[in-house]
Structure 1
Amino acid sequence: MDILKIDVEGFEFEVLKGCLNLQINCILIEVGYEREPTKVHFSEVEIYMENMGFQLCGIYEIMRCLTDKKKISYSNNLYIKKNLINN
């Protein structure tokens, strides 16, 4: 099982598009929950990964906003190919 970890400060989609032909079964990707240039937004990643046949399976290293500890700033989300989960 191949795993890809992506943390490239806002260029995550470029990396994902560049690996379309690779056999990657798990992707750990940093996502943001606020709109900012150095993070890809969770909602956009969720739609993209769903369309690519992946399912969200875990959320790790949750970082809170410095100015408002009630809000999540970013996390590392684990996506796994659906066909591996459902078998």
Structure 2
Amino acid sequence: MIKVYVGLGDGEVVLAVWDGSAARPVARHVDLSLETLDLREEHFDDNGGRGLSIVEKLSARRWVDATWPAGKWVCAAIKWGVGA
């Protein structure tokens, strides 16, 4: 199960996703091309790991909040408004 949160802060939009894993997210920096993209069903999960890299580029700040007894919120703040 995952949970999603979206909220407004002081001049920013906060986006967060919760999952039950205690493992911290790790960005994979992979060149995306037709040669590296393998959509065969048995390799479908091998194509992941790019989301955190995208979030790092778009967000003003990022953090992870552990939850008890398990899980974590992975959060990102994106500036909005004048001077963003």
Please classify the TM superposition score into its range, dividing by the shorter chain length: 0.3 to 0.5
Identify, as 1 or 2, the structure richer in helix: 1
Structure with greater contact order relative to length (CA < 8 Å, sep ≥ 6): 2
Answer with 1 or 2: which has the greater Rg. 2
Q: TM-score, normalised by structure 2?
A: 0.35
